[in-house]
Amino acid sequence: MNYIFRHGFKLTLANLLGGFIATTVSMLGFAFFYLIIMILILGAAGVSAIGGGSLEDPFAALENAGTGTEIGLAIGLVIFYLISIIFSYLPYSMMFGGTYTSSIEAVYENRSSVGTYLNGAFRYLWKLTGLQLAYLLVSIPLLVVLVITAEFSEQGGFEQSPVSGILLTLIFLLFTFIYVMMFLYSPIFIIKERTGIWKSISLSFSLIFKAFGHVILSGFLFIGIGILFCGIFGVFSFIVLALFGGIDVFTSNSEPGIVFILFAFLLGAIFFLFVLPFTWSASFLVFINYYKRKLRHRLFPPTDSPGHPFPNGHSFQPAFTYNARGNQAETNHRPPDFNV
């Protein structure tokens, strides 16, 4: 756990900065997207006005527009909607790229820096965006199970056949778990193992079935770290607020005083500016460290790693060796082991 406190605070600063950049990019992207929509609508209305319509009400002008204008507007909106989906993933790709890159450096090289976070945020921006789009396709089986479960519940199936309802729920939870864990492990393969998008997905799938128990435990650790730190801060905040008039507010719904409001605002700021980024950093440090110690060798055995001169752990054993004077020092009557 010492590496959490050794690198956690620096990564907290990096995540805070990355979150600010990602939020800014997201807001600018959506503003640009809605601006383009308005330009398309006004442009289509302008075309209608040229044909005798009025620009006083652009939406009414669209109703009077010709079929060609409506089709063109629809195609334009669909294209920009698809583009908006892609660009909506960019902020998350920046955060994941920076977090995974800096956490991997901290775990494997015992060092961390804000520069590494920013480098990873932009270096893997498009590959992680492509990964998220790929997981849209991977989520289709999960969506199918979700629709079946929802329809089964809508038709009263849980009351008529509780066993079937429980079975569908368990299948949905299993699919959800596999999907989430695959999504969490894939960026490790892309950044650490230098794989492609679909290769990272297949490796994640293989890892789950090769070490299902360890994968479950890693997921519990990832969630547990967040619950632990947020829970500790939640208890601390409750005690602080209770000391400044919170008991009356909590029990009798009385109006909070100015001191209570100030402390509530301060604690909220601390939570979003420090506790949440620190928890995010600590969760990924624990998660990646667990992968390094317990899971990586199941997919990449050390003896078969790239660069090892002899596969399967075999090394060349000379038949004899020489000492410093050049005399034969030791004789090995066995032939060299080349059984690879």
pTM for the full predicted model: 0.74
**In a domain? residue 218:** yes
**In a domain? residue 200:** no
Tens place of pLDDT per residue across the chain (340 aa):
677 888 888 899 998 888 888 888 778 877 777 787 777 666 665 655 555 554 455 555 555 555 555 666 667 667 777 777 777 788 889 999 999 999 999 999 988 888 899 999 999 999 999 999 998 888 887 788 777 777 766 666 666 667 777 777 788 888 888 889 999 999 999 999 999 999 999 999 999 989 999 999 999 999 999 999 999 999 998 888 888 766 666 666 666 677 778 888 999 999 998 999 999 999 999 999 999 999 999 998 876 444 443 344 444 444 444 554 555 444 444 444 444 3
**In a domain? residue 49:** yes
Return phi, psi of residue 328, to 5°.
-70, 120
Domain boundary among 123, 158, 173: 123
Residues 6+ apart with CB under 8 A from 19: 95, 277
Q: Cα(86)–Cα(93) distance, rounded to whole angstroms?
A: 11
Q: Cα(4)–Cα(106) distance, rounded to whole angstroms?
A: 9
**In a domain? residue 249:** yes
Consecutive H or E run containing 320: strand 320-322
**In a domain? residue 23:** yes
**In a domain? residue 292:** yes
Whether 217 and 112 share a structural domain: no
Query: Quick one: tokens of 255?
Result: 């109006």
Number of domains in the chain: 2
Query: Quick one: tokens of 325?
Result: 């004077």
Q: What's the sign of the alpha-carbon dihedral 217, 221, 222, 226?
A: positive
**In a domain? residue 145:** no
Q: Cα(244)–Cα(259) distance, rounded to whole angstroms?
A: 7
Domain boundary among 89, 123, 157: 123
Q: Cα(290)–Cα(46) distance, rounded to whole angstroms?
A: 60
Whether 1 and 117 share a structural domain: yes
Domain boundary among 123, 154, 189: 123
Provide the domain limits for residue 77.
1-123
Q: Cα(265)–Cα(140) distance, rounded to whole angstroms?
A: 42
**In a domain? residue 85:** yes
Residues 6+ apart with CB under 8 A from 76: 40
